[in-house]
Amino acid sequence: MTAMVKAEGVHKSYGAAHILKGIDLEVNNGEVFCLVGPSGSGKSTFLRCINHLEKINSGRLYVDGQLVGYRQKGDKLYELKDSEVAVQRRDIGMVFQRFNLFPHMTALGNVMEAPIQVKGESKAVARERAERLLDRVGLRDKMGNYPSQLSGGQQQRVAIARALAMEPKLMLFDEPTSALDPELVGDVLDVMRDLAESGMTMVVVTHEMGFAREVGDNLVFMDGGVVVESGHPRDVLGNPQHDRTKAFLSKVL
């Protein structure tokens, strides 16, 4: 079975700062894969490399068996054109910490926009799916509202619906609840739970250890740009083997 995401020796630097130091991991089809660790450990950078929002310096990253951002000829890599990268990104939904909604569009308009503009769908088809997705995330009654009229949690659920509107095979979540008031977190996690149960492959950078333990199939603890420990979330969170993992979890659990 082809892994949905495969990283082989992925390195990423910004100038002298070496952020990712040889990441090797695999995310299987239909798996909820959680990345945890302290701020600055490279989790979000790695997530952004998966859809080539960040370019890696060395190594290989594959999504569904396809090399991301490059084509290989012989043993050389050639960077893809922006238009070719955009085609790859269609299959990868991303939900950011900040919701990045279009402020001048309603919730419905935000969810309809990409299928119309990127896939050339008709408004009728895009609207039918957008209404269905907003209903799925519990916002049927907010379709006509603008982002400024929605709470942070509601905006984030619109952002999830917007990502799903492109019918991706992979969803990336970059700390999707960390900008929310505590009482709004549950609604967003419920939507993510529902997605997991439907079989969506998800890579989730999160501080929500309860969610990781309950919903995750695999968990990686990162620190200093390396994978320190990995395994089933209940095993890693309940019985960490590495001193760095123990120290981190003692502060957050």
Confidence tier at 2 by pLDDT (50, 70, 90):
confident
Say yes or no to pLDDT of 160 above 80. yes
Confidence tier at 97 by pLDDT (50, 70, 90):
confident
Using the structure block, give the residue that is written with the tokens 């990686």: 220
**Distance (Å, rounded) from C-alpha 232 to C-alpha 123?**
43
Confidence tier at 181 by pLDDT (50, 70, 90):
confident
**Distance (Å, rounded) from C-alpha 112 to C-alpha 107?**
9
Distance, CA of 138 to chain centre: 21
What are the pLDDT digits (tens) for 41-57?
A: 999 999 999 999 999 99
Q: Coil, helix or strand for 72? A: strand
**Distance (Å, rounded) from C-alpha 176 to C-alpha 185?**
9
Q: How many CB atoms lie within 10 A of CB 81?
A: 9
1 vs 74 pLDDT, higher one: 74
Say yes or no to pLDDT of 237 above 80. yes
